[in-house]
């Protein structure tokens, strides 16, 4: 299991990519396979194992829709 689990409220994401830019590990990207009701591709993470839990993404999100949980 990865050390951290990062989740995005996909319904609320507006695809601004601020979190994509903020991540020092470059593991966040917009998911082209999902389009939310507002017409945006929400942010998602492919390699959760590479997350270091720095919270840069969550702090940067203007809509506070990113949640980071430390796994035991």
Structure-block tokens of residue 25: 């590990």
- For position 66 contacting ligand SF4 by CB under 6 A, the verdict is yes
Structure-block tokens of residue 11: 């319904």
DSSP code of 42?
P
- For position 57 contacting ligand SF4 by CB under 6 A, the verdict is yes
CA distances, 71 to each of 9, 20, 33, 48, 52 (Å)? 19, 22, 27, 12, 12
Cβ-based nearer residue to ligand SF4, 34 or 68 = 68
Among 2, 7, 47, 55, binds ligand SF4 (CB under 6 A): 55
Positions touching ligand SF4 (CB under 6 A) are 6, 8, 13-19, 22-25, 27-28, 43, 45, 51-57, 60-61, 63, 65-66, 68
């Amino acid at each position: 299991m990865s050390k951290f689990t990062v989740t995005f409220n996909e319904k609320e994401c507006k695809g601004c990519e601020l979190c994509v830019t903020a991540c020092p590990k470059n593991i966040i990207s917009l998911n082209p396979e999902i389009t939310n009701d507002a017409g945006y591709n929400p942010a998602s993470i492919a390699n959760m194992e590479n997350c270091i839990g720095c919270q840069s993404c969550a702090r940067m999100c203007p809509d506070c829709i990113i949640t980071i949980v430390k796994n035991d």
